[in-house]
Structure 1
């Protein structure tokens, strides 16, 4: 599939996402929390004691709101980090975050923890996306950042990659390239999809 086809797919799925109403968005943000926590408990059952780290994105534009999940993880005493963008097609770094911490605008306009916050590699990564399919592939925003990040993290350790999206962002087949990293799970307001099943 050409770059133009990817661009068109991204445009279509993001346009659908933009149509989610405020009430639907609020309900979806709450609906994903329990399934997300169940995944964390499954893959890091003693995270509060053993220090496994969970990365959750800070939502922008019409992304599914993960702030209730960040609050639930903090209440469960599970260490969380937010991604920090350094450059296009370069892996993210991850800095410690707790609800209530001040965020700063990073060089790419994203809300990020301060540079003084310690950096950690996450064990579980919840990532945003533009589109997904039932094979476990995600279409991002075109920068290749999460593919580079997952590749780097997987080279060092076993991680669990979880896409987070509205059900309306599903497509029949995401166009893939050799460098694309598959997700382990996909979480929507309606279901948890296990790509190992």
Structure 2
């Protein structure tokens, strides 16, 4: 299973790395608009007055979520960024407002400082290496988002949204019992409701 996942991850990330600057810029704008509309729809359906929305801060060739963060903040949503403190352990989520300084975390990621309030999100946008239409994601191998959702979902209703380029889609993501399904997948081409 590990070799299959490693090979799929490598191939999918290689495709993602081929996305041009112009394509990436256009995709970020599309995903920001669709992401805000989806948050509004989820909040209305669930009766959330003010949902806490976690959005990842992009690294490497990940689809750029900074326009989504800005758009959500401009609409008045409370935005939180994930903070990674240990592999295979749940994330912590700290409040973030565009313009806040970020610090380098222990794994080299840009994260809110420890003095920012922590809270559990109601809606969570997740990065990924590959995805399928059943709602399964292949991450980077650390098991962090699976551990996070496994901890959050028994405590509260959490909507998980995978964010990726359409080129990262695969027919079938190999799964294991601990793998958590996503509720939606958002690409520059479409919003996918897993079946």
1:34 corresponds to: 33
Cα RMSD for the two superposed structures = 1.4
Give the TM-score of the pair, scaled to structure 2. 0.97
What is the number of equivalent residue pairs in this alignment? 194
Q: Structure 2 matches for 1:19-58, cutoff 5 A?
A: 19-45=18-44, 50-58=49-57
Aligned partner of 2:151 in structure 1 is 152
What's the secondary structure of 2:76's corresponding residue? Answer: coil
Deviations 1:106-140 (A, max 9, x none): 00000000000000100000000000001110000
Partner Cα separation in structure 2 for residue 172 and residue 84 of structure 1: 31
Distance in 1, matches of 2:16 and 2:157, equals 31
What is the CA–CA distance in structure 2 between the aligned matches of 1:129 and 1:65, rounded to whole Å?
Answer: 12
Q: Which whole-Å CA distance do the structure 2 matches of 1:179 and 1:45 have between them?
A: 30
SS at match of 2:7: helix
Taking the aligned partners of 1:7 and 1:175, their CA distance within structure 2 comes to 11
TM-score after normalising by structure 1 = 0.96
Q: Which residue of 2 aligns with 1:3?
A: 2
Distance in 1 (alpha carbons) for counterparts of 2:45 and 2:145: 26
Q: Which ranges of structure 1 fall in alignment gaps of 5 or more residues? A: none
Aligned-partner SS, 1:125: strand
Structure 1 position 137 matched with structure 2 position 136: yes
- Superposed counterparts of 1:159-178, under 5 Å: 159-178=158-177
Secondary structure at the aligned position of 1:83 is classed as: strand
Deviation of residue 51 (structure 1)?
2.8
Per-residue CA shift, 1:58-102, capped at 9, x if unaligned? 000000000000010111010000000010100000000011000
